[in-house]
Amino acid sequence: MTTHLVWLRNDLRINDNSALWAACRARHARVIALFIATPQQWHQHNMAPRQAEYIWRSLQQLQQSLTEKGIALHYHQCDDFTASVSYLQDFCHEQQVDALFYNYQYEFNERERDAAVERRLTEQGVTVQGFDDSVLLPPGSVRTGNNEAYKVFTPFSKAYRKRLRAGLPECLSAPQARAETPLTTLLPLSPFDYPRESFDEQLFPVGEAAALQRLRAFCRQPVLDYPAQRDYPALEGTSRLSVCLATGTLSPRQCLHRLLREQPQALEEGQASVWLNELIWRDFYRHLLVAFPKLCKNQPFAAWTKKLAWQQRPEQFDAWCQGKTGYPIVDAAMRQLNATGWMHNRLRMIAASFLIKDLQIDWRLGERYFMSVLIDGDLAANNGGWQWSASTGTDAVPWFRIFNPTTQGERFDAQGEFIRRWLPELAAVPDKVIHHPHDWAKKNHQRLDYPLPIVEHKAAREQTLAIFEAARQASSVISPE
């Protein structure tokens, strides 16, 4: 009997799983699945313990779903990608696998691993098929008129929407059961040899069914409110589907098709199109990883920014990590991140800008810290966001535009509702002065158990402008007027 193997990674679902669907097309083939945990590699890539726990919990649910389809899920743990390649080769020999099916990952190390797998298994006589599954359109399929990768998001988005209007990517159903009766025995699925950290299942429900339920609910009405509410962290104005997309309990095609089913006008201009743009941003960063592999190697996209004179300020970095900078909106954001493993997107920009433009600390330290804590950690999106904030990326905020953390707080959390949720020590501070708590305390002879600002924004801004200008001059780049 022909044996087909599905190699699962960040695609923990049975619906709209390209590799799984392809493996099951041959009705009489024996289909098995395999997940290989690589804790040592995860440590190197700064995977958050919460994300590892979420993956393990989702894997348990996926195992049950596959078992009901007559597909056994095998599990193995080894140190790193090199060991996983050898194990996969041995496993295919042991199980007499004729064909391997897997969905692409676009990070550099993962692509190197997959290329090694393809070489070894092809030599072994195994047919290998890979699929573009975690994107709406494959990397390299949306290019400029000069056949180059887009480096700016707005024209990329316009070209992307045009492609989608010409024809939507197919959303695949779950495969049919492989036998009349499901399997009754589950193979052992041990916890990962990785630090364990719990997470709030009300915020991040586990598994494919929960992801689909949340997607349907969001696309009915909240997606229409999204443009007006998405920047206000005190509101539940975002989808919170990022962890589902990062781990693959949900596909971007499922998001697109459900959005268009509920809001048919979303491909055009309008309220629903704003959330669609976020899905396109997600793909933009993946396309960039493939076109410019240096983004996976701690390199800025803009070469001149290698000349930036980042400051060594470990105490200030620790204060930022702990949410003790003396800037309420920054501190509330960091405490939300540390407590939940998630941060509101507007706050990600504010917190990143503060680390880079107020403290002049290397953006790569912040990027790594976020990855080590985020339950929805995703290299492409995280790197893209940090390089945007640092003005080092392809589509970055101009280097001379610097967020003022106080005015950002006043604009997006005017009454301090979000701030008080995470900074209880400011509970007594009146709404109108919540963003200047020490001024209020001094005037009213109050003592606050809250740190003074670790930097003065106006002075820091001038220092940052000088640092960036010096880097541009050192790189013989003409600065803007």
Catalytic residue, candidates 21, 320, 386, 388? 386
Please tell me the predicted confidence (pLDDT) of residue 397. 82
| Boundaries of every domain in the chain | 3-131, 135-168+207-291, 303-474
Q: Identify the pLDDT of residue 180.
A: 64
The answer for residues whose C-beta is within 8 angstroms of residue 293's C-beta and 6 or more apart is: 108
Catalytic residue status for 404:
no
Same fold, 3-131 and 135-168+207-291: no
Among 42, 56, 281, 422, the one annotated catalytic? 281
Q: Tokens 């007027």 appear where?
A: 481
What is residue 179's predicted lDDT score, i.e. its pLDDT?
Answer: 75
Decide if 277 is catalytic.
no
Q: Is the pLDDT of residue 399 over 90?
A: no
pLDDT at 480: 44
Rounded Cα distance between 322 and 129, Å, is 45
For 51-69, the pLDDT digits (tens) are 999 999 999 999 999 999 9
Determine the average pLDDT of the residues in 346-370. Answer: 98
278 in catalytic set: yes
Q: State the greatest distance between any 2 C-alpha atoms of the chain, in Å, as a whole number.
A: 82
Can you tell me the distance from the alpha carbon of 15 to that of 212, in angstroms, rounded to the nearest whole number?
A: 10
Amino acid at 75: Y
Bridge partner residues of 101 (DSSP):
6, 129
Tell me the CB-side half-sphere exposure of residue 70, using CA atoms within 13 A.
15
Please indicate whether residue 386 is annotated as part of the active site: yes
Pairwise CA distance, residues 378 & 376, whole Å: 6
Residues near 398 by beta carbon (within 8 Å), at least 6 away in sequence? 391, 480
Give one DSSP letter per residue of 312-378, joined into a string. Answer: --HHHHHHHHHT-SS-HHHHHHHHHHHHHS---HHHHHHHHHIIIIIT---HHHHHHHHHHH-TT--
> CATH fold of 303-474, please?
DNA Cyclobutane Dipyrimidine Photolyase, subunit A; domain 3 (1.10.579)
d(CA 251, CA 332): 31
What's phi and psi for 304, nearest 5 deg?
A: -65, -25
Q: How far apart are CA 396 and CA 400, in angstroms?
A: 11
**Taking 60 as the threshold, does the pLDDT of residue 119 lie above it?**
yes
What's the whole-number average pLDDT of the chain? 95
**Crossing angle for the helix pair 363-373 and 345-353, to the nearest 10 degrees:** 140
Q: What are φ and ψ of residue 157, in 5° steps?
A: -60, -40
pTM of the model: 0.95
Compute the average pLDDT of residues 355-366.
Answer: 98
Position 479 scores a pLDDT of: 46
Phi, psi dihedral angles at 77 (to 5 degrees): -125, 130
pLDDT single digits (tens) 407-442? 999 999 999 999 999 999 999 999 999 999 999 999
pLDDT of residue 27: 87
Phi, psi of 297 (to 5 degrees): -120, 35
pLDDT at 183: 72
Q: Is position 46 annotated as part of the catalytic site?
A: no
Predicted local distance difference test score (pLDDT) of residue 398: 87
Burial class (CB in 10 A: 0-12, 13-18, 19+), 353: buried
Answer whether residue 130 shows pLDDT above 50.
yes
Chain segment 72-82, per-residue pLDDT in tens:
999 999 999 99
**Any bridge partners for residue 6, and if so which?**
33, 101
- Evaluate if residue 481 carries a pLDDT over 50: no
Helix (H) or strand (E) holding 386: helix 379-390
SS (H, E, C) 461-477: HHHHHHHHHHHHHHCCC
Question: Looking at residue 187, what is its pLDDT?
Answer: 81
For range 91-97, the mean pLDDT: 97
DSSP secondary structure, 85-107, as one string: HHHHHHHHHHTT-SEEEEE---S
Q: Which residues are annotated as a binding site?
A: 226, 238-242, 275, 278-285, 376-378
The CATH class, in words, for 3-131 is alpha beta
Q: Of 10, 197, 345, 417, which residue is the catalytic one?
A: 345
**CB-based contacts of 143, cutoff 8 Å, min separation 6:** 149, 150
How many whole angstroms separate alpha carbon 350 and alpha carbon 329?
A: 8
Give Cα 9 to chain centroid, integer Å. 15
- pLDDT, tens only, 96-110: 999 999 999 999 999
For residues 460 and 405, what is the distance between their CA atoms, to the nearest angstrom? 12
Question: Residue 231, CB half-sphere, CA atoms under 13 Å: how many?
Answer: 11
What is the distance between the alpha carbons of residues 126 and 121, in angstroms, rounded to a whole number? 5
The per-residue pLDDT for range 302-313, each reduced to its tens digit, is: 999 999 999 999
Sequence ranges of the binding site for FAD? 226, 238-242, 275, 278-285, 376-378
Decide if pLDDT at 354 tops 50.
yes
User: Is 342 part of the annotated catalytic residue set?
Assistant: no
Angle of helix 271-291 relative to helix 153-166, nearest 10 degrees? 110
Alpha-carbon radius of gyration of the chain: 24
The active-site residue, picked from 112, 118, 197, 278, is 278
Q: Which two tokens stand for residue 406?
A: 């106080």
Q: What is the CATH T-level fold of the domain 135-168+207-291, as seen in this structure? A: 1.25.40
Q: pLDDT value at position 467? A: 97
**How sure is the predictor about 395, in pLDDT bands with cuts at 50, 70 and 90?**
confident
Per-residue pLDDT band for 475 (boundaries 50, 70, 90) equals confident
Write down the catalytic residue from 56, 363, 388, 422.
363
DSSP annotation of 228: H
Instruction: Please give the Cα distance from 244 to 248 (Å, whole number).
Output: 6
Residue in 112, 277, 310, 410 annotated catalytic? 310
pLDDT (tens digit per residue) in 2-22: 999 999 999 999 999 999 999
The two three-digit tokens of residue 143, written as one number: 């290019």
